[in-house]
Amino acid sequence: MRLTALIAVIGTFCALTCVSAQPTLAPPQMGFVQDSGRSVRPAYGVAGNFVLGPPIAEGVVTHAFSGSLELVKTTSSLAAFNSQGKLLASVNASAGPALFGFSPDGTMALAYLPSSNTLLEWSGSAFVPLSLDLDQLAAGSVLAIAFPSQSEASFIVERNGDIWESALPLGNAGAASEIALPGVHAPLLALPSGDLLYTNSTGIVIQRPDASQVHILASLPASLSLHQMGADWVELMDLKSFARFAIRATAGREAFYRLPESSR
């Protein structure tokens, strides 16, 4: 009976709309990257074929893009942009870099400002300071943050040469917890998927939530930083040259690419 009803419904709607059906086409956007001139630009194309667009923000200290939300920290502000590069909101912020962590769907985010030891949440329309006891983080150096759920913030901290992941509850429920991350090195990046991405002597390591690892052979610069540039993409910045690289973290499609230089 159910099947009979379904066919009837399909037949009716197909007859009405099949002729005019057309898809929408647009340039594929892979994310946003920070160029050597401290500007953030959209990156278009497909894997292995990147084209950079015009800058949406300049004077950038750090940035990250979830696939739908771009967060930018300048010397004195913290700003949010949509995927088209439209400014959504901006607030004053203490000097220095920021660390960003996105919710699994990429629409919510946390921004941690080490210089003032403050945490802000992007709620979808504004940055909201969070009242969180971050003093316990002061004993170490915060390397990355994550936003695994709306009730929890995760801080990856280096303390006495060891890497720890500290989960702090957001709100009244829950308790803080901490686990060691043996074998993990800074610099590193926590992705919304739960992946942890870091480097070693042979290249890049992607540690999946189930603790399995994927190794990408790559010749890496001596001094680098990692930033999320898209839903499954990480930008690797050579801090001593114009060179920028892209790491694809998609399961089964992991790869390492060089990004075009934009300051030329």
| Contact residues for another protein, defined by CB under 8 A | 2-3, 5-7, 9-14, 16-18, 20-29, 44-51, 104-105, 107, 242-243, 250, 257-261, 264
Q: Which residues contact 200 (CB under 8 A, 6 or more apart)?
A: 185, 215
Residue closer to another protein (CB basis): 11 or 59: 11
**Could you tell me the smallest distance in angstroms from the CB atom of residue 184 to another protein?**
28
**Could you tell me the smallest distance in angstroms from the CB atom of residue 261 to another protein?**
6
**Could you tell me the smallest distance in angstroms from the CB atom of residue 123 to another protein?**
14
**Could you tell me the smallest distance in angstroms from the CB atom of residue 181 to another protein?**
27
Pairing label, strands 118-122, 109-113 = antiparallel
| Tokens 């690419």 found at | 257
Q: Exposed/middle/buried for 91, CB within 10 Å: 0-12, 13-18, 19+? A: middle
Residue closer to another protein (CB basis): 20 or 131: 20
Residue closer to another protein (CB basis): 48 or 96: 48
**Could you tell me the smallest distance in angstroms from the CB atom of residue 43 to another protein?**
11
- The helix (run of H) or strand (run of E) holding residue 4 is helix 2-17
Q: What is the dihedral of CA 230, 233, 236, 242, to 10 degrees?
A: -60
| Tokens 């950079």 found at | 52
Residue closer to another protein (CB basis): 35 or 165: 35
The answer to whether the CB of 156 falls within 8 A of the CB of 179 is: no
Residue closer to another protein (CB basis): 8 or 139: 8
- Tally of CB atoms within 10 A around 102: 27
